[in-house]
Structure 1
């Protein structure tokens, strides 16, 4: 992660002070006034330090051959930021693309950091009169379809968690929640016991910017949580005050983001699933719900915790599935040919003005098959069978 943030508790971090005073105060403004998360504030902080280094080299404040990482980002005052021009910004964006190899999305995020910084200096604290980034638009983004697992691949991943882990109840439960609730990695790691309400079948999540939302738990989630919590709550050495839902097996403390990624990656590799990451499980949940759960885009936005529907529109590529289903439901598509032989014109190898009658075999229409019951019951395995399998495994190891 970083020397600043503790991924188990990013809200408690060292001061962001290795930058110019204007940047330090802006980042504090993001966290305290604007209510941004520590992760978001840290991202902006890193972007602005990078821009500071670039500008120092561009203005000749350091030797031309200086490595970016070796340039001290401090020492630039408000008067310096007032001298930054559109040409400087464009050169910076070109530098990011050509020399750093940034993708369009990464370049757009760094430009957003500059937009926010100058908006703060001009409109929030009135230190500058002009914003050089005001008329600069981000590069047009490529429309990349989200990569996701099919329902069959999801089942294979769940089965893999039973054989590739020393704590299968926990790892199985985490993957079930990813696949059914569409939660982010940080949301799963940050869950506490009092966030879970099994009686009312819901869970409270804290998303980006400390935004709270309630997510419904289907049957697969309920069974997986009951199986895991019964194991977790009886672990020897677990302190009563430990409130984290998912904990490590050895230290009995909140599991880290990195450890969850390692566990999921290992299970995917064992299942033969290549090219997927932990975040792709969130895409999988959204995709399967959109395909099979009759979920509209606004409902999906609320479920995923997106602040803007434009973010959720990445899943509108799935409308192709709905369009195909709509065509299948067209009442004219159910019509059958008369029992008598249908006659069609065959103009192949015929002289002009002549035709030949040809009979066509009668065929039954083939309806498109779709997932059935996925959104209602959830993606999961038989919890009772899992528990029996685990008990048998323990007996075999003890014998």
Structure 2
């Protein structure tokens, strides 16, 4: 029932609303986040049986994974569009998302990890498991290149120029950028390819996707959130951590090291320099905290 409803929704977005393929994929991904929540909690229910309580519990679940308020709001918006469509088509008796509220925007500066904390978190990965080398390669790549989680799950083998030390990333608005990649990330990508990926049966259409799940398909964003939440708990890191934390850490460490802000903007793929400037504020906040903590006269 979910598959046929999502297919109808996809056709509606394409034919009637004339949305771009990327926008359609984002809407579909938002709905699939709800189905992932239902599956994870053993709730085998059809779209017409979803209630406001189910949706509220789903939003609490995605918040617990560490998703930002902006990401949560986008997922809620996608779910609302889906249920409005089903109602208009007469496929459900009422819209359960009508009273669903989006989280209030937060002005809190994002958490970031120290290099030692990143090493501690990576150290929790069990390399004896089949997915161990993949998971290490994912985190090393996200931190090394400052990738968004969507950019990491969509990264293609054809976008890797490891001998030259670069990756080509497709970001927001289908804009591409070249980003340097560190030796540790290169080593772990190569190890993952040689020890795990080359022995997998890969689903048709996913042959060029770098990071795959056990079924040979592209990973979902939620899987990356769950992975990082699990590793943070094992490392006993109490900060609010999500995949975006590695992007924040990448940028913060560059700014702390004196990197040119325009260069950081280019590597992050920010359209405006004002978006990148948050990391100068983050750096000042960090310095102030250090002074308050360690300077006897502050």
TM-score normalized by the length of structure 2:
0.64
Distance of aligned partners of 1:166 and 1:154 in 2 relative to their CA distance in 1, 3 Å threshold: same
Partner of 1:149, secondary structure, is coil
Which one of the candidate residues 12, 17, 25 is aligned to 1:16? Answer: 12
Partner Cα separation in structure 1 for residue 286 and residue 237 of structure 2: 27
Report what 1:309 is aligned to.
Answer: 273
Which one of the candidate residues 178, 202, 222 is aligned to 2:186? Answer: 222
Would the aligned equivalents of 2:200 and 2:216 in 1 still touch at CA under 8 Å?
Answer: no
Q: What CA deviation, in whole Å up to 9, does each residue of 1:28-73 have, x standing for no partner?
A: 2x528xx8674279859947967x98xxxxxxxxxxxx976377xx
Residue 254 of structure 1: how far off its partner (Å): 2.3
Matched, 1:244 2:213: no
Distance of aligned partners of 1:146 and 1:255 in 2 relative to their CA distance in 1, 3 Å threshold: same
Distance of aligned partners of 1:296 and 1:266 in 2 relative to their CA distance in 1, 3 Å threshold: same
Distance of aligned partners of 1:322 and 1:276 in 2 relative to their CA distance in 1, 3 Å threshold: closer
Would the aligned equivalents of 1:36 and 1:209 in 2 still touch at CA under 8 Å?
Answer: no
Which one of the candidate residues 243, 261, 269 is aligned to 1:278? Answer: 243
Which one of the candidate residues 30, 39, 45 is aligned to 2:26? Answer: 39
Partner Cα separation in structure 2 for residue 278 and residue 256 of structure 1: 12
Residue 197 of structure 1: how far off its partner (Å): 0.8
Stretches of structure 1 lacking an aligned partner (at least 5 in a row): 7-12, 19-23, 54-65, 72-98, 106-141, 325-365, 367-399
Residue 101 of structure 1: how far off its partner (Å): 5.3
Matched, 1:254 2:243: no
**How many equivalent residue pairs?**
233
Which one of the candidate residues 50, 56, 69 is aligned to 2:96? Answer: 69
Residue 100 of structure 1: how far off its partner (Å): 5.7
Which one of the candidate residues 232, 242, 252 is aligned to 2:196? Answer: 232
Distance of aligned partners of 1:5 and 1:156 in 2 relative to their CA distance in 1, 3 Å threshold: farther
Stretches of structure 2 lacking an aligned partner (at least 5 in a row): 31-73, 85-92, 289-294
Question: Aligned ranges for residues 290-301 of structure 1 at < 5 Å?
Answer: 290-292=255-257, 294-301=258-265
Partner Cα separation in structure 2 for residue 143 and residue 256 of structure 1: 28
Which gives a bigger RCO, structure 1 or 2 (Cα 8 Å, sep 6+)? 2
Report what 2:171 is aligned to.
Answer: 207
Question: Aligned ranges for residues 103-118 of structure 1 at < 5 Å?
Answer: 103-105=103-105
Would the aligned equivalents of 1:181 and 1:217 in 2 still touch at CA under 8 Å?
Answer: yes
Distance of aligned partners of 1:260 and 1:313 in 2 relative to their CA distance in 1, 3 Å threshold: same
Distance of aligned partners of 1:36 and 1:257 in 2 relative to their CA distance in 1, 3 Å threshold: closer
Distance of aligned partners of 1:322 and 1:48 in 2 relative to their CA distance in 1, 3 Å threshold: closer
Partner of 1:15, secondary structure, is helix
Would the aligned equivalents of 1:146 and 1:315 in 2 still touch at CA under 8 Å?
Answer: no
Residue 177 of structure 1: how far off its partner (Å): 0.8
Rg larger for: 1
Partner Cα separation in structure 1 for residue 231 and residue 184 of structure 2: 19
TM-score normalized by the length of structure 1:
0.49
| Greater share of helix | 2
Partner of 1:148, secondary structure, is coil
